[in-house]
Amino acid sequence: MDPTTALELCRFFHDASLMLLWGACAYLLFFVPKTLADIVWRLSATSFSLFAIVAVLTTLVSLPLAAATVGNGWSDAVDLGTVRDVLLETTIGQAWQAQAVCAVLTLGAFLLPERRRLLGLAAGSGLGLAALCLTGHASMLDGWLRQAHRANDILHVLTGGGWLGALLPLIPILKLLGRPDCKAEARVALRRFSNAGHAAVAVVIVSGIVNTMLILKRLPTDWSSPYQKLLALKIALVAMMALLAIVNRYVFVPWIRRSPGRALQALRLGSIAEIMIGVVVIALVAVFGMMEPV
């Protein structure tokens, strides 16, 4: 495996773990009633811990992988001089320093009292996502346009991660709708997810369009360009996710009153499908985010 492919894989696992952790924690923290959030946390704590560990490990290995990619291959991944130069003299290194701080914050969240753990994880993973935007295609711009592009990138990844990650705790919440002691709070959580989801989908689409215009100045319609082909595929997959979200909200949710068993099963399957498509989207971004945007 060459260093570029290894870095793409590292980017995928890092971005996916942060987005899922951020979205899940933010949803439980801000939109789910506390008693129900505590139940879902206990059911999902192992997964949250795994996401945090993956985010930290991929942060550690991304710097030597970047050195190997920028330098002359695998030998530069362990060359202290090359790694130091990348760390201290490039925007990649500056972004890595911010991501390293966020990784420490994410791990430190597990040392907090249980009632504050979700807040710590949401803060660490959310800041980690924002730190990703310190590099990328926005760095090609100058002045206020670079800052505006980065701000739009941050908005895009936080809302996208919020949408995707929230689907993870939503699945057990749908199951808890059948428990009498959880039914009322689960309904509240489902309604809040639906309301917030409308805004998240809209922001993801609009900020994605803004990013495309800032980078390409037009729609990705040049099929001879690998970058534009992958970007167009990403846009199509996000459109599929949005369509699934609409079907879930306006077809299956009203169906709960008439046939709760089938409706909840359909909602769970629809949510799983959205997660799977979202993971593919993250993989695409991990690849074309390293390409020349032509």
Evaluate whether residue 228 is within a structural domain.
Answer: yes
Across 278-287, average pLDDT: 94
Residue-level pLDDT at 120? 93
Cα gap 68→19, rounded to integer Å: 26
- Structural domain containing residue 38: 3-288
Helices (H), 91-182: 91-108, 114-132, 143-176
8-22, 104-118, 270-284: segment of lowest average pLDDT: 104-118
Evaluate whether residue 275 is within a structural domain.
Answer: yes
Q: Is 153 helix (H, G, I), strand (E, B) or coil?
A: helix
Nearest to 36 by CA among 126, 194, 166, 170: 170
Across 202-226, average pLDDT: 86
Residue-level pLDDT at 138? 59
Cα gap 247→267, rounded to integer Å: 9
Q: Residue 125: pLDDT above 70? A: yes
The rounded percent of the chain whose pLDDT value lies above 90 is 51
Q: Residue 287: pLDDT above 70? A: yes
Evaluate whether residue 246 is within a structural domain.
Answer: yes
47-61, 140-154, 175-189: segment of lowest average pLDDT: 140-154
Residue-level pLDDT at 26? 95
Q: Give the pLDDT confidence of 188-212 residue by residue, as tens digits.
A: 998 899 889 889 999 999 998 988 8
Residue-level pLDDT at 279? 95
26-30, 63-67, 174-178: segment of lowest average pLDDT: 174-178
Using only the alpha carbons of the chain, give its radius of gyration.
20
Evaluate whether residue 294 is within a structural domain.
Answer: no
Residue-level pLDDT at 197? 86
Residue-level pLDDT at 264? 85
Residue-level pLDDT at 81? 87
Across 246-255, average pLDDT: 84
Cα gap 272→247, rounded to integer Å: 14
Q: Give the pLDDT confidence of 11-48 residue by residue, as tens digits.
A: 999 999 999 999 999 999 999 999 999 999 988 889 99
Residue-level pLDDT at 204? 93
Q: Residue 143: pLDDT above 80? A: no
Evaluate whether residue 11 is within a structural domain.
Answer: yes
Residues 6+ away with beta carbon under 8 Å from 285: 15, 234
Q: What total of structural domains would you count in the chain?
A: 1
Torsion angle, alpha carbons of 177, 38, 271, 30, to 10: 110
Q: How confident is the model at residue 129 (pLDDT cuts 50, 70, 90)?
A: very high
Evaluate whether residue 293 is within a structural domain.
Answer: no
Evaluate whether residue 63 is within a structural domain.
Answer: yes
Q: Residue 260: pLDDT above 80? A: no
Evaluate whether residue 169 is within a structural domain.
Answer: yes
The rounded percent of the chain whose pLDDT value lies above 70 is 98
Q: Is 124 helix (H, G, I), strand (E, B) or coil?
A: helix
Residue-level pLDDT at 140? 66
Q: Residue 142: pLDDT above 80? A: no
